[in-house]
Structure 1
Amino acid sequence: MKGDAQPLIKFFDGSDKRFIIPLYQRNYDWKEENCEQLF
């Protein structure tokens, strides 16, 4: 498997994929400290 950088819009645009956010995750709110944990 080979990965490469792509713009996020290219991932979502023009695809036949459906992205569904479950009800129990819709109200989750990311704060700055949550994002910092990823890096």
Structure 2
Amino acid sequence: MCCSEHFPGMISNSELKILINQINKIATFVVKMAFILQQC
């Protein structure tokens, strides 16, 4: 994982999974909004 080089020992595995989960939800929301806006 590339992130471990930037944050050595700062973020645990479970916290990283939660963070990725949140980012995925936000990214999905943004993509949906962009898709809806393109339809107009």
TM-score bracket for this pair, using the shorter chain length: under 0.3
Greater radius of gyration (CA): 2
Report which of the two has the higher share of helix: 2
When normalised by structure 1's length, the TM-score is 0.21
